[in-house]
Amino acid sequence: MVRVKRGYVARRRRKKVLKRASGFRGSLGKIFRPAKQAVVHAMKYSTDDRRTRKGDFRKLWITRIGAALKEMNISYSKFINGMKNKKISLNRKVLADLAVFDPAAFKKVVESIK
């Protein structure tokens, strides 16, 4: 029977997985089979956490806007409702940046709603 030399294809495939797993604890970064499982889990978590990060930033923006509004004696819910009624379409990211970095402009937006 003729011997088959596998060549570089399998080695390239394994090296790709092990490169992604480098830095994992223990044998997860060194041995192919557990490394492959760890990489699959890691990729799943990274996908899920991209969604979670969007929600985290939204929470941060809402907190910053609410803190700035508390100084002006208006609640967050009344502010957002007023913005919808006046058809002012600034998103929460922009509002939070205004509240932190340009309080004068944020105050003008609040005054236009009151």
pLDDT tens-digit profile of 38-72?
A: 999 999 999 999 999 999 999 999 999 999 999 98
pLDDT digits (tens, 9 = 90+) for 64-87: 999 999 998 999 999 999 999 999
pLDDT at residue number 2: 86
Task: Answer yes or no: is 1 within a domain.
Answer: no
Task: Answer yes or no: is 4 within a domain.
Answer: no
pLDDT band at residue 88 under the 50/70/90 scheme: confident
Task: Answer yes or no: is 20 within a domain.
Answer: yes
Q: Which domain holds residue 14?
A: 9-113
Residue 1 has pLDDT above 90, yes or no: no
Indicate which CATH number applies to the domain containing 95: 1.10.1900.20
* Tokens found for residue 96: 């939070």
pLDDT at residue number 29: 92
Task: Answer yes or no: is 2 within a domain.
Answer: no
Residues of the chain with pLDDT > 90, as a percent, come to 82
Task: Return the biggest CA–CA distance within the chain.
Answer: 88
* Tokens found for residue 43: 């990729």
pLDDT band at residue 96 under the 50/70/90 scheme: very high
E strand residue ranges, the chain: none
The answer to whether the beta carbons of residues 23 and 29 sit under 8 Å apart is yes
- C-alpha atoms less than 13 angstroms from C-alpha of 12 in its C-beta half-sphere: 4
Question: What is the pLDDT averaged over residues 77-98?
Answer: 92
